[in-house]
Amino acid sequence: MKFQLSTLAMLGSFVAFAHGVCLKTSGNAHIVPKTGDMKIFALLYNDGKLVCSIDRTTYDKEMWLDCHDGHYSAIPDDLSVVAYAHNKVDYQIPLQPESVGEYSWAWNGQLGC
Q: What is the pLDDT of residue 19?
A: 52
Report the DSSP beta bridge partners of residue 45: 24, 50
Q: Which residues contact 24 (CB under 8 A, 6 or more apart)?
A: 44, 45, 108, 109, 110, 113
Count the domains in the chain.
Answer: 1
| Contact predicate 99/105, CB 8 Å | yes
| Contact predicate 60/77, CB 8 Å | yes
pLDDT in tens, 62-111: 999 999 999 999 999 999 999 999 999 999 999 999 999 999 999 999 99
Which residues form the domain of 20? 2-111
pLDDT in tens, 7-23: 333 334 334 444 578 99
d(CA 108, CA 86): 20
